[in-house]
């Protein structure tokens, strides 16, 4: 089971995360304990050979040191090197973070490891009873070690949430375009979106009551009551769709529709005049000699005029817009 938790960073930024609760944390703990028991079993086999061929007191001392190193050192080393993840947490997509959302360091992992061994699970924890009770009473599923270290276990792998598309009812498109939505707060718009996405999951009477309350709040903020005969969900869909369209329009690049910028008028270049020194000088031309007079031509008899044929008058074309007879 997961629960949304608000973490506030040092810069006063609210982080919306999902805190891991008892079920996922318990399964990750079982994986870690199984690995620890395997390593502890191998260590007992090695130390038993030491007890056979050596001092039993030395073997007992080495066993206690090995037990503490495995039960405490295992989570401390893994959570320090992997920034809050043991092998069991890696398998389930969990991570230990600070309450401000930052990564854990060695001191946080050490406090959690010592508290887990002595308080939550083994020495005084009654085999995990203390950790289970504390996690059930905590809204974020935190155990004693988390409270002492100032940490929280969150889920890194979450199913992708599908945000439903809120469409504009065609009957209310023109009415919604005349609304003043500048006073609609973001938290109220988010509540409306969540309501519209979960309407099918609610009972009809509960959905109607919740929609009516949200519609009254929205109407009070924007100053436009619900039109007569319009259901609450349609009213809220129209308001939310119109708000989304206006927000998208603000993201579009601004287009200037004013007068175009004046274009500089350039005078035509002056006509190039060739300098006087380069102008060709007029040279006198020699007078040509008078041609000799030719003899008078013989008289030519004009041909007889040819009578052109009479023009043929073409028939008048029919009017295309006159209906046929």
- Indicate whether 60 and 101 sit together in one domain: yes
87 and 231 housed in the same domain: no
Residue 184 and residue 135 in one domain: no
Q: What is the pLDDT along the chain (325 residues), one digit of tens a residue?
A: 444 454 544 433 344 578 898 999 999 999 999 999 999 999 888 888 877 777 778 888 888 899 989 999 999 999 999 999 999 999 999 999 998 888 999 999 999 999 999 999 988 888 899 999 999 999 889 999 999 999 999 998 765 555 566 788 888 999 999 999 989 998 898 889 888 888 888 888 888 999 999 999 999 999 999 999 889 999 999 999 998 888 888 876 544 444 554 544 444 544 544 444 444 454 454 454 555 555 555 555 655 655 656 666 655 544 434 343 4
pLDDT at residue 75, rounded to an integer: 93
Regarding whether 200 and 227 lie in a shared domain, the answer is yes
d(CA 103, CA 80): 9
In a domain, 46, yes or no: yes
Residue 87 in domain: yes
Report how many domains make up the chain.
2
What is the span of the domain harbouring residue 218? 170-248
Instruction: Tell me, yes or no, whether 310 lies in a domain.
Output: no
Q: For residues 151 and 189, state if they share a domain.
A: no
| Token code pair at residue 260 | 């175009």
125 and 204 part of one domain: no
32 and 118 inside one domain: yes
Report which secondary-structure segment, H or E, holds 151: strand 151-155
Bridge partner residues of 5 (DSSP): 17
> Are 148 and 7 members of one domain?
yes
pLDDT for the residue numbered 319: 41
Q: Are residues 151 and 177 in the same domain?
A: no
DSSP 220: H
What is the spatial distance between Cα 301 and Cα 299, in angstroms, rounded to a whole number? 7
- pLDDT value, residue 274: 47
Distance, CA of 153 to CA of 75 (rounded, Å):
14
CA dihedral 13, 16, 17, 23 (to 10 degrees): 130
Residue 71 DSSP class: I
Under 8 Å between Cβ of 235 and 176: no
Q: Does 23 map to a domain?
A: yes
What is the model's pLDDT at position 123?
87
Q: DSSP letter at 103?
A: B
- What pLDDT was estimated at residue 269? 46
Looking up tokens 């079993």, which residue turns up?
Answer: 41
Query: In whole angstroms, what is the distance from residue 215 CA to residue 169 CA?
Result: 15
Secondary structure of residue 45 in the 3-state scheme:
helix
The pLDDT assigned to 113 comes to 94
SS3 content of the chain, % helix, strand, coil (to 5): 50, 10, 45
- Contacts of residue 256, defined as CB under 8 A and 6 or more positions apart, other chains included, come to none
**25 and 151 part of one domain:** yes
Residues 166/196, Cβ–Cβ less than 8 Å: yes
């Amino acid at each position: 089971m997961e629960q949304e938790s608000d973490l506030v960073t040092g810069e006063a930024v609210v982080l919306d995360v999902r805190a891991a609760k008892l079920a996922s944390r318990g399964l990750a703990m079982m994986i870690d304990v199984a690995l620890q028991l395997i390593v502890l079993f191998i260590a007992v086999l090695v130390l038993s050979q030491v007890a056979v061929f050596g001092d039993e007191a030395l073997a007992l001392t080495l066993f206690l040191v090995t037990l503490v190193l495995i039960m405490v050192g295992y989570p401390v080393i893994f959570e320090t090197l992997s920034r809050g993840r043991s092998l069991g947490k890696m398998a389930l997509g969990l991570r230990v973070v600070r309450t401000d959302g930052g990564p854990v360091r060695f001191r946080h992992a050490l406090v959690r490891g010592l508290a887990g061994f002595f308080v939550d699970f083994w020495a005084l924890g009654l085999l995990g009873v203390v950790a289970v009770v504390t996690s059930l009473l905590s809204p974020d599923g935190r155990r004693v070690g988390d409270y002492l270290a100032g940490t929280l276990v969150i889920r890194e792998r979450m199913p992708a949430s599908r945000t439903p598309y809120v469409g504009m009812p065609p009957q209310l498109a023109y009415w919604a375009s005349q609304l003043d939505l500048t006073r609609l707060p973001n938290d109220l718009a988010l509540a409306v979106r969540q309501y519209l996405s979960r309407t099918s999951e609610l009972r009809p009477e509960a959905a109607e009551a919740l929609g009516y309350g949200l519609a009254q709040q929205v109407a009070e903020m924007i100053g436009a009551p619900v039109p007569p005969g319009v259901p609450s969900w349609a009213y809220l869909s129209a308001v939310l769709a119109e708000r989304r369209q206006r927000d998208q329009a603000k993201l579009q690049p601004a287009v200037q529709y004013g007068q175009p910028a004046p274009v500089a008028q350039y005078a035509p270049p002056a006509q190039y005049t060739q300098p006087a020194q380069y102008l060709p000088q007029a040279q006198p031309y020699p007078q040509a000699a008078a041609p000799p007079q030719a003899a008078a031509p013989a008289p030519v008899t004009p041909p007889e005029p040819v009578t052109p044929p009479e023009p043929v008058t073409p028939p008048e074309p029919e009017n295309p817009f006159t209906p046929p007879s």
